[in-house]
């Protein structure tokens, strides 16, 4: 491999322009070798912004013509599968945003294809890479294993359109961030009991689950898309220590019965007030580059991401009240 990782960029949407490509553009060991988007104006504007010389409207042509080591496939989840499979078969390392497809089976097959072709596959579960959350987990685990974790995700989404016109459900597409953090903190699930509700939208918009993990920890998921505003918080509890984390702002750490917490500022611990840095996007992209260079598996590999998709499936499949149906409504 050359001293540079040659990156092919597929997609010129909001997340690509806001957090992923700005991060890649600053890495001295990454070359932005080509960019593709179906919309010519979006492709042109993004290429100009990040000084990408080679612009395409068919990713296959880009991969045929350019020397590329890894591709960032930043597309809607229901359009990912065929592109990921094709890129893996072309021996290109693959980075995708969450969720890893629409179903557990899609995620599993994408992971399998990457493994079969000897390439790295990674899903951008950026919450795992938020400096504040990583520091809080480190503080708790210094005392012992996590014994209890809570992940909440609330949004104000009343009577609005479904994600991607209904191609992806809320839990899989967005609330999966909270589900993945529970797995990251607690391990693999043993038992799941959940409630799914459809209150103010034509799609399921409230998700609550109690999870018992294999190593004994308990996890609680609280999600509601008909709440007053966006709030996304976490709790991490260990022996004699508790961290209450709001990644947008700060964490409060309580230990040994003291009523005054230690406050850790999200931007301070990240060393930056840039959203893409303190919210983990730069770190996850750096991690993927380092895994390619070092030949190691990404922390949020596609195989690991498939296990998070399986937990999403188990939340749907295990209603708290066995007399209720699997789905909230018809």
Tens digits of per-residue pLDDT, 191-241? 999 999 998 899 999 999 999 999 999 999 999 999 999 999 999 999 999
Q: What pLDDT, on a 0 to 100 scale, did the predictor assign at position 174?
A: 97
What pTM value is reported for the model? Answer: 0.95
| Under 8 Å between Cβ of 203 and 167 | no
Which residues have a Cβ under 8 Å from the Cβ of 294 and sit 6 or more positions away? none
In the chain, CATH 3.30.360.10 sits at 128-282+308-317
Strand 206-213 and strand 70-73: pairing? Answer: unpaired
Q: Give 320's pLDDT tier (boundaries 50, 70, 90).
A: confident
Q: What pLDDT, on a 0 to 100 scale, did the predictor assign at position 235?
A: 98
Radius of gyration of the chain, Cα coordinates, nearest whole angstrom: 20
Which residues have a Cβ under 8 Å from the Cβ of 185 and sit 6 or more positions away? 137, 146, 149, 217, 219, 234, 236
Q: What pLDDT, on a 0 to 100 scale, did the predictor assign at position 324?
A: 64
User: What kind of fold does domain 5-124 have according to CATH?
Assistant: Rossmann fold (3.40.50)
Q: What pLDDT, on a 0 to 100 scale, did the predictor assign at position 3?
A: 85
Specify the residue for token string 């931007």. Answer: 267
pLDDT digits (tens, 9 = 90+) for 50-61: 999 999 999 999
Tell me how crowded residue 294 is: count the other CB atoms within 10 A of its CB. Answer: 8
| Under 8 Å between Cβ of 111 and 199 | no
Our measurement of the distance from residue 317's CA atom to the centroid of its chain's CA atoms, rounded to an integer in Å, reads: 22
| Under 8 Å between Cβ of 41 and 68 | no
Q: What pLDDT, on a 0 to 100 scale, did the predictor assign at position 1?
A: 53
Question: Any idea what DSSP says for residue 193?
Answer: E
Q: What pLDDT, on a 0 to 100 scale, did the predictor assign at position 162?
A: 85
CATH class, domain 128-282+308-317, is alpha beta
Q: Give 325's pLDDT tier (boundaries 50, 70, 90).
A: low
pLDDT digits (tens, 9 = 90+) for 96-136: 999 999 999 999 999 999 999 999 999 999 999 999 999 99
Q: Cα-flanking dihedrals φ and ψ of residue 249, to 5°?
A: -135, -70
Residue 330 has pLDDT above 70, yes or no: no
In the chain, CATH 3.40.50.720 sits at 5-124
Rounded average pLDDT over 182-187: 98
């Amino acid at each position: 491999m050359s001293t540079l990782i040659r990156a092919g960029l597929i997609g010129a949407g909001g997340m690509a322009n806001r957090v992923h490509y700005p991060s890649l553009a600053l890495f001295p060991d990454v070359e932005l070798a080509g960019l593709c988007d179906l919309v010519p104006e979006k492709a042109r504007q993004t290429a100009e912004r990040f000084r990408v010389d080679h612009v395409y409207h068919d990713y296959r042509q880009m991969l045929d013509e350019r020397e590329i080591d890894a591709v960032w496939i930043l597309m809607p989840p229901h359009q990912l599968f065929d592109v990921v499979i094709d890129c893996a078969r072309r021996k290109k390392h693959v980075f995708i945003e969450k969720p890893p497809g629409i179903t557990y089976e899609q995620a599993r097959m994408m992971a399998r294809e990457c493994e079969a072709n000897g390439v790295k596959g990674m899903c951008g579960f950026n919450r795992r890479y938020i400096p504040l959350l990583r520091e809080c987990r480190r503080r708790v685990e210094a005392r012992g294993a996590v014994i209890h974790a809570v992940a909440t995700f609330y949004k104000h989404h009343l009577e609005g359109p479904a994600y991607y016109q209904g191609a992806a459900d809320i839990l899989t597409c967005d609330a999966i961030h909270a589900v993945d953090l529970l797995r990251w903190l607690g391990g693999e699930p043993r038992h799941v009991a959940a409630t799914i509700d459809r209150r103010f939208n034509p799609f399921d918009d409230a998700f609550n689950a109690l999870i018992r993990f294999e190593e004994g920890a308990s996890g609680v998921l609280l999600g509601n898309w008909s709440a007053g505003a966006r709030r996304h918080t976490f709790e991490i509890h260990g022996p004699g220590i508790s961290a209450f984390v709001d990644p947008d702002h700060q964490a409060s750490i309580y230990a040994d019965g003291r009523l005054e917490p230690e406050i850790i500022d999200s931007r301070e611990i990240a060393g930056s007030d840039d959203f893409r840095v303190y919210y983990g996007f730069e770190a996850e992209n750096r991690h993927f580059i380092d895994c390619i260079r070092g030949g190691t598996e990404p922390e949020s590999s596609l195989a690991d991401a498939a296990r998070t998709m399986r937990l999403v499936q188990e939340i749907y499949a295990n209603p708290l009240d066995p007399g209720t149906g699997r789905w909230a409504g018809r």
